[in-house]
Structure formats: structure tokens, C-alpha cells
Structure 1
């Protein structure tokens, strides 16, 4: 992949909506990838579009939300959708690359849970487009796999979660466990001066319930801080403590070893290193590009 896969980033647009994203946020992957590809140090970047096998739209979904929607006047996604559509209209008018492939060799990266909605208003426009999202909603085209609760070894806190009451699963978790047991620390938002990362480090089990979307950045955080995962169905949230206590030390140790093998794929390095999270994002785009035949060209 490193020898062959090359990406060209469109230059149109001005920060902060384009060419700039969060660098120290739970949704910071989009910012770091934008910066990585535009820094001039990435082995995947090329200076001329004719050298590229894929084309990157340097759009920051999170910055659109921060700078366009705040203070929040409404939650309609049309503004977000129009910003991205207008950007595509601009680059597809100026360059031949989007139109010659119907967007099949173009991609956008975002971790925010609003990102899947970008294509909702114009499905034909995004029919072939590559979306790299932290999203596992089957209604939005993702093939589901098991959710998880992350864990690690020799921690002083048995189970921990802190976050907003977004979605059905978290409300179920709060109703059964918020403030109910010292061994299972469930907070709607973490009270000061407690430190979120420190508590995750100290926790044997880091709970990762889905919010508005099936995915959660806590899964990645927990893999980085922790060692293994256990799936607990929503219907069994009341039995959460009993299920986790029932895991044997042998099973616990074996699962630690398994996740340690993939932990490096969730580590963020700058500059990026082979097999880290930025390289795995590029690998996903590379595979998608290899496995997708470009639509035939149409005569103007």
C-alpha cells in the first residue's frame, strides 16, 4: 500500500470548515488526518492530482458543527449537507476527477455522529462516494458486529462510565447503575475535579454504551487504555455486575493477549507510523478503492 497508494487533497475552501480540524478532541481523527495529508510529510500525499489514486475532501464535520451551528438555533442537518454539497459542486466544476468517477475514488473522514447525515439529502450524489466514519449503524450501510465493553487488568475501579444521556442504551445504563453501586461508577457527566483518562486507566472494565449512534469513541479510548472486550446485550444491563464478575481470571488474561495484538492499530502517532490508526484509515480507503470498479465514463 505505501508503495502504490497515493492521495491528492483538494485545495479549495478556507479554514476552519476546511483544511483544519480538531487536534485534541474525542473526534480529533479528522483533524489529524487532514493535517497529516497536508503537512507534506505523508508518504501517501502527492502534489499533482494526476498522480493520485484517490482524492481527499478536507472537510471538518466537527468544525462545521462548531462554527455553523453554535449557538444552536436548530438541529436540522440541511446546513451541514449544503456545506459539503457546495464544496463538491465547486471542485467538480473546477476539476474533472469527481465527474469521471462519480465520486467513487473520493473520500471524507469524520468521527462525529452527524457525519452519516451528510449524504442523506442527496443520495445519488454520494452513491459511489467513500465515507470513512466512526459509525456502525446498519440503517446507514454498515455491516453490524458485536458491540463491546472494554476492560483491563489489576485496576482499582471495577467498572466506569461518564457521558451524556444520549440514546436508549445509555438511559438504560443510567436507570440501573447511576449512583447505585460504588463498584460500578456511572456518571452522566464527570464531576470536577475527577480526571476522565485517569479513571479509565484505573478501571478494570470501561463501559462503552452507544449514544445517538451505535459507535462510540470510548471503544477506541478503552482499547488504548485497556486490554480486552466483553459484549453485554442491552437487555442484560441489569445483570451487568454479575456478568462481569463471572469472568474467570484465565479468560480475562487470554482476552488481554488477544486485544494487545490489535492495540497498536488504535494508537495515534504524529507523524503517522505503519499500522497505527492513521495508516489503518488509509488502508481502509485503499481497500475500498481496490474493490470498487469506477463507473463508466459518459460522453458530455
Structure 2
């Protein structure tokens, strides 16, 4: 048989022209390649050249700068128009920070089961890239010709006209939001447009030195991530929509407060003099009397250190953990309620995250903490260590903590009680979210964090201070189905309250930044089109 094959090959080699044979093989090879390419889901040209933006002829853009034409120009910014050019940004660019290495599938499954038994889960950022949608080039050129305020007016009109989007974002869960379509449109405009100028004036430790641990760490994490950011920060103040006062209220207290003096005036005078120095040195404060400036302060004393400067209180956008609407310092819709996050290890901000499944939460409600303020003594009077279903304590007793730690109590409870202390804010609210326990907020006049976009009724219970005696009755009256929905919503909410060493879309850094952006938009007047 082999001899026959050799004879056939020899005959072909001698009788067929090698050049013709090569040509036939080349044609067959090219033909097979073209057939395979035609079967691909996307044309090969899309891999090589970027898509070009296009604007229909009936949507001609007038590039002249006339604010009274913003209404007609805003028609161009529709979801289908915005999508015709995209930039893909990978969330996995920081592999060391955001990726975990799986050694073997078997070990991965075992470790995952072990984490679930312990009520701990690992958080990994989305592996798929997200898309920052770009505008048509003519719209971009038009926007670049506007002043910052004019561009904000253009964006605000488009956001107000946002309709229900068919382009759902898998990273957003609609029941968590007051209006997810409006939020999504606003967030996209922030990504495209927002520029923040950071004053370089001021010296550490009060300025430019973020404090990243403890219950006041939110202000430090925001400062760190804002000063490291390249997308939103500009070095040209003329292009800025917002101006950041980069100080730490916690560091201010540590540096200037005299222990046991009960005198905050030196802290207020220091900030007053700092703002007056900026106003004398630069034109930006005086142009708006501080209304396009913002500060981020999580310490309880943050609001009270502003009292020596009237414009700082009345005009500046304040992101405060102590968001008490009754004291007339925090102004809803203008100011931002800052989440109070407790970070114990800055290198592992997601440590101990997660909770037990519903069937492993035998405790109806849990609280442990000091007895200060007007609410906690009343809570302990009615419920302190009196009911097996209501685990309400002062500081967690040793006899209790020996068997179950504070975090394990939260992971084993259906509801976590979050009463105010001396001030309305409490780190327990975010702790409850981290441990997948439905927070029960007891603090009249408290504005919940990020409430301009989040629907807190979907994942929390708010109880009036006067109803503390009926607390158990109120919780038992919540149908099981509603509780299960709230608890499931908490799991979907977590990503919006996480600090990441490298910020990812919709995380806490971006949510706070969006709230500041939203506050700035609220103060922009949209010019009416001329008749």
C-alpha cells in the first residue's frame, strides 16, 4: 500500500506543474479563510478601525454659542445618538489590587464554602469591561465652546428630559433608586464632563493628609482617591465645575482642639482664615461666593467648625456624616449626606464583608453601644437585655462577647438597630449594609446617606424616636416577603458603599462624587428658550 502511495506522489510531482499546484493551494487557503471570517459575529474591520460618529442630516447642530438654543440642541443627546461611539475601559487594569488568583477549581470551591459558613464573602470587581459612552463629535465641539456653567445647563436639561432607558445597565438595580433612568443619565454626564479643581494651599496634617482608619475614615478615603484621580481632576481652574477644599475635620480636631476645653472656636477661626486667604489669593471664591466649592467632613464636629464664615455655611456644598436637618447647617438638596464607614485595615477595606443566610439569622434585632445621646437611654430602658428576640445592650458584655462577637451578632440578626448617639449619624448603618442586616434607623431629622438618589424604603426601616416602646411590634408587623426583599436589596446595595484602592464604577467614591455633581446641577438655572 505504501509503495502504491509513493508511486502516485511521484507521478503527480513529475506530471503536474509545481507552480500551478502552489497556486491551487493558495486559492483554497484564502477561500477557506474568507468563509470563516464571514461567519464571525462582527466584521473584521470593527477590530481594526474605530467606529465613526454620525449625526443624521435632520439633526443639524448649530455650533454657535447661544444658551437660548440649548433646548433644541438637547434633542441630539438621546440614548441611540450617544451610543454611536464608545470607549472601552477595563476594570481589571490593576490586577494586583482587584484580582484574586485561583490555584485550582477544587480549592476555590472549598474555600468559597468555608467563607459562606463563616458568613464572609469575597468581593471582586466586575470582570467585564464597562463602556463610557461618547457624544457625537459636533456635540463635543459645541460643549467645549461653552463655559462650565453653560455646559452644566446643557447637561441638566438633558437629564431632566431623561426617559426610561431600554439600555439597561447590569450594574444598577432599579428598586434601589428613586429614578434609575435619571441617575444613569446624570452619572453618564458626570463621567463625560465633570472637572474638579483641588486647591494646593494648606499644609499637612490638616490638609492633603488623608486619615484612612476608624469611623471617620470616609473623609480620608475621599481625599486620597480624589487627589489621585486623573479623570475628574483638572489643573486649570477655568475649566472646573467644582472646587475642592482638601482638609480633614478629624485632623483639624487632632491638631487644634485643646482636650476638655469644650471650645471649638479656634477650629472655626482656622477654617475662616483659610477660606479668606483663598478668596484674597484667587478670584474663584468671590465669583460665586463659594457656591461651586465643596468640602468633605465626617467628624461629628464637622458642621460646627464652619460657623465663623457665613458663606461657608450658607453657600458651600458640604458633604457631612452629621447630616442633621434640624440644626440649619446641613441643608437638604444642597448638601450631601456622607456615609460613615468604619475601616479597620486600609489595605483590606472589604475585610469581613458579608453575612449569613436568612435561615441562619435567629436574632430579630441587635444593638450594642454606649448610652450617650437622647435616644439610646430610651432604647435601653425599654429593651435593654430584656427579650431574647431583641438583643439590645449597652457596651457588649464580656459574658456575651465570649460566645459571639459584635460582627457575628450583626451577621446573625435580621434587623440591626442604628440609633443616634450625641449626633444623628451612626457607623452602624453602613456596618449593617456590609453584614447584610436590614438597618433600623432611629434618628429624627437625619438625612440618610446619598438619599438624593437612593430609595431607603427599599432596604431599611425608619422608626420615629417616639415609637421606641413599640419597636418589636413594628418589626414583627413587617411581612416576611417584604423583609426578604429588603435583605436581598441590601446585598445588591453593598457595591455602592465600598471603598476600593482603585475606584470602580458606581462604588462609594463615585457615588459621593455624583452627589456633589448633582448638588452643583441643582443650583444651575436653565435659560428658557426665546419665543
TM-score w.r.t. structure 2 length? 0.50
CA contact (8 A) 1:30 1:111 kept: yes
Establish whether residue 235 from structure 1 lines up as the match of residue 466 from structure 2: yes
Task: Return the match for 1:201 from 405, 411, 414.
Answer: 411
CA contact (8 A) 1:137 1:214 kept: yes
> For residue 293 of structure 2, what is the aligned residue in structure 1?
106
Gaps of at least 5 residues in structure 1 are 145-150, 295-300
Task: Return the match for 1:17 from 199, 202, 206.
Answer: 206
Task: Return the match for 2:365 from 159, 184, 188.
Answer: 159
1:82-123 superposed Cα distances (whole Å, 9 cap, x missing partner): 121122122222222112221111100112221121333332
Larger Rg: 2
> For residue 107 of structure 2, what is the aligned residue in structure 1?
none
What SS does the corresponding residue of 1:138 show, helix, strand or coil?
A: coil
CA contact (8 A) 2:418 2:426 kept: yes
Q: Quick one: distance in 1 between partners of 2:302 and 2:490?
A: 28
> For residue 116 of structure 1, what is the aligned residue in structure 2?
303
Change (3 A) 1:59 1:190: farther
Establish whether residue 171 from structure 1 lines up as the match of residue 377 from structure 2: yes
More helix by share: 2
> For residue 269 of structure 1, what is the aligned residue in structure 2?
500
> For residue 253 of structure 2, what is the aligned residue in structure 1?
65
After superposition, where does 1:72-151 map in structure 2 within 5 Å? 72-139=259-326, 140=328, 141-143=330-332
User: By how many angstroms is 1:143 displaced?
Assistant: 4.2
Change (3 A) 1:113 1:86: same
1:21-57 superposed Cα distances (whole Å, 9 cap, x missing partner): 3212111110001111112x34211233233211111
User: By how many angstroms is 1:290 displaced?
Assistant: 1.8
Q: Quick one: distance in 2 between partners of 1:293 and 1:138?
A: 23
Q: Quick one: distance in 2 between partners of 1:42 and 1:225?
A: 32
Q: How many residues align?
A: 286
TM-score w.r.t. structure 1 length? 0.85
Relative to structure 2, which stretch is displaced further, 169-178 or 114-123? Answer: 114-123
Instruction: Say what the alpha-carbon RMSD is for the aligned residues.
Output: 2.5
Relative to structure 2, which stretch is displaced further, 241-250 or 57-66? Answer: 241-250
